Amino acid sequence: MRILVTGGAGFIGSHLVRALVSSSFQVRIFDNLSRGSLDNIRDVLASIEFVEGDVRDYGAVEDVVRGVDAVVHLAALTDVAESTVEPNLYFDVNVRGTYNVAKASRSVSVLVFASSSAVYGEPVKLPIPEDHPLQPKSPYAATKVAGEALVLSFSELYGYRPVVLRLFNVYGPRQSKSYTGVITEFIKRVSRGEPPVIYGDGRQTRDFVHVADVVEAVVTSIKSSRARGVYNIGSGRAVSVNELAKTIMELMGRLDLKPIYKPPRPGDVRHSVANISRAFTELRFNPRIHLLEGLRGLILGGVASGMM
């Protein structure tokens, strides 16, 4: 089975590509390297096909989709704050890009789209189920709502199996600043002896899910014919930003540091935690990596090796 991964040189994409290669899939990556890096996939380059290109270029997308059995569409801009000052750019990449991928996927069997918990906005119910109202608070979130609609509507036209994964706060090795960068930034600052910077009062909650668990959900979505429609992919556990900062400082032996508080950033939601019961039932999704374990591995592996 040949799989196309857009954004395959990025944070989540590079982890997914390794998993696919180890499972004997044939993998083609499409990435413009604006946010991703060949360094992320250097060790598997000989085992995959890499095509440099931009999802905004329909001709290039049509060419790269040709001959593949499944598409995983990860290519996107993901910084909520940046989207508030660069909304045109976010529309072009995230909406036009997803339109191009969905339109070009007329002959594939399955299209997996990486959406975001940001589509829910400020929740009216916790934990958040998939049928929660969509009320995006940022241009980024709005582009993900549009992307979902495009993937689902083109599936009606072409007959491919659509899987929309609403990812909550993904973290792990090779994490970029725009992808749940709070963990990376906290660790970097504490490792330099600097206090974490918290935007808002720190009581806001997030659902942190390890990239390895996200990758497992994506691979299952490709393999299982039962996977169809929208799924929340998170840990199912709410963690406050204050708790996160304290845990990181404790793990790094720097409880002497006191967080710095700054005004909230535009587009941020107050609380977020996933109801993952549908993913558990239909995808057998059961997150294996607890936050404490994931943070410990990130601190010992990432900071110690200088890779973060």
pLDDT bin (cut points 50, 70, 90) of residue 176 is low
Q: What is the pLDDT of residue 302?
A: 59
Its CATH class, for the domain covering 2-170+209-233, is alpha beta
- Long-range contacts formed by 262-266: CB under 8 A, 24+ apart: 262/197, 262/198, 262/199, 263/199, 263/200, 264/199, 264/200, 264/204, 265/80, 265/81, 265/199, 265/200, 266/80, 266/81, 266/84, 266/138
**Among residues 90, 120, 140, 231, which one is catalytic?**
140
Q: Is residue 140 flagged as an active site residue?
A: yes
Q: What is the mean pLDDT of residues 264-271?
A: 88
Average pLDDT in the 57-79 region? 98
Spatial CB neighbours of 24, under 8 Å, sequence gap ≥ 6: none
Q: Domain segments of the chain: what residues?
A: 2-170+209-233, 171-206+237-272+289-305
Q: Is the pLDDT of residue 303 over 80?
A: no
- Structure confidence by residue, pLDDT tens digits, 82-100: 999 999 999 999 999 999 9
So what's the pLDDT on residue 266?
82
CATH class of 171-206+237-272+289-305: alpha beta
